[in-house]
């Protein structure tokens, strides 16, 4: 499960790759490099915005299923009841359920689930820019960072997003209404499997794949939920909670006419 990644490129590189025309300035700001993005952080995505592509920042973590939230509320109710020495009334449990914290689901694997199917149309698909991502393995050194090469070229996760979802993300924050996103995972390729054998993010490797993900019917887009070929990725850092760009890295590289990450 990928719960940590970085994006250290700039706005123009992202716009050039995915043909984003609109920038949500109130969220993007000056687009400073993010060397460690954790769950529930604001992070950049590119999504369809009517007839344009929009670059914006929203919170990482789609809503958990209603069943998962109900089960979590039941467990919390048991603790509350034990402390109070009595059963909660139906009204009390309803209030507890409505305010059950849900920090969200960062990675989506089972796209056959009814919970996710509401967000699989192009309207709710997005791409998530990244330059490196981490999988944790204590024996291998902690956070193990992957990229296509040491220069950490721009690439994109295949993501989905949910508009204006109301929930309690954190108890101290209370109920909030906000846009949310997550990205898909799939079986790992050889490099990632050596560190994290369960899954790897779904990575789009060309502008053509980005277009398919953003526009194609689901029957075609779902074919992109596959591991990368063997040899596509390399480990570029170990043991750190952030992955800064290489020394003297140019954060505004010129994109090739036909980007090719391999």
Return per-residue pLDDT of the chain as tens, 262 residues.
Answer: 789 999 999 888 898 888 777 787 667 777 789 999 999 999 999 999 888 899 999 999 999 998 999 998 999 898 989 888 888 988 889 988 988 999 899 999 999 999 999 999 999 999 999 999 999 999 999 999 999 999 999 999 999 999 999 999 988 889 999 999 999 999 999 999 999 999 999 999 999 999 999 999 999 999 999 999 999 999 999 999 999 777 644 443 333 333 333 2
d(CA 81, CA 86): 5
pLDDT at 169: 92
- What are the structural domain ranges in the chain? 5-64+102-238
pLDDT at 247: 65
pLDDT at 258: 34
User: Which two structure tokens, joined as six digits, stand for 228?
Assistant: 């990368």
DSSP 219: H
- The residues near 66 (Cβ < 8 Å, ≥ 6 apart) are 115
Per DSSP, helices labelled H in the chain are 11-18, 25-28, 66-84, 90-98, 114-117, 190-193, 207-215, 218-221
Kindly report the pTM of this predicted structure: 0.87
Contact indicator for 106, 1 with CB cutoff of 8 Å: yes
d(CA 194, CA 259): 28
Task: State the burial class of residue 259 (Cβ atoms within 10 Å of its Cβ: 0-12, 13-18, 19+).
Answer: middle
d(CA 175, CA 165): 10
d(CA 188, CA 195): 10
In this structure, whether the domain defined by 5-64+102-238 belongs to CATH 3.90.78.10 is answered with: no
């Amino acid at each position: 499960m990928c719960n940590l990644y970085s994006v250290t490129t700039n706005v123009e590189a992202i716009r050039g790759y995915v043909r984003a025309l609109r920038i949500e300035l109130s969220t993007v700001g000056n687009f400073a490099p993010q060397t460690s993005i954790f769950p529930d952080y604001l992070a950049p995505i590119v999504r369809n915005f009517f007839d344009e592509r929009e670059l914006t920042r929203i919170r990482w973590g789609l809503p958990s299923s209603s069943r998962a939230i109900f089960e979590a509320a039941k467990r919390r109710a048991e603790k509350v009841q034990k402390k109070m020495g009595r059963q909660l009334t139906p009204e009390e449990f309803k209030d507890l359920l409505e305010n059950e914290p849900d920090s969200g689901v960062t990675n989506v694997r089972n796209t056959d689930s009814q919970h996710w199917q509401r967000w699989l149309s192009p309207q709710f698909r997005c791409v998530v820019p990244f330059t490196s991502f981490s999988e944790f393995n204590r024996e291998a050194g902690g956070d193990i960072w992957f990229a296509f090469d040491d220069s950490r070229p721009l690439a994109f996760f295949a993501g989905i997003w949910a508009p204006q979802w109301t929930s309690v993300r954190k108890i101290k924050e209370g109920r909030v209404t906000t846009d949310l996103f997550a990205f898909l995972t799939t079986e790992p390729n050889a490099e990632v499997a050596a560190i994290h054998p369960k899954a790897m993010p779904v990575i789009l490797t060309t502008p053509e794949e980005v277009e398919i993900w953003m526009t194609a019917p689901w029957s075609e887009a779902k074919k992109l939920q596959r591991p990368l070929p063997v040899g596509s990725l390399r480990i570029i850092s170990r043991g750190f909670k952030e992955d800064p760009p290489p020394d003297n890295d140019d954060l505004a590289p010129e994109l090739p006419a036909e980007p090719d990450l391999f």
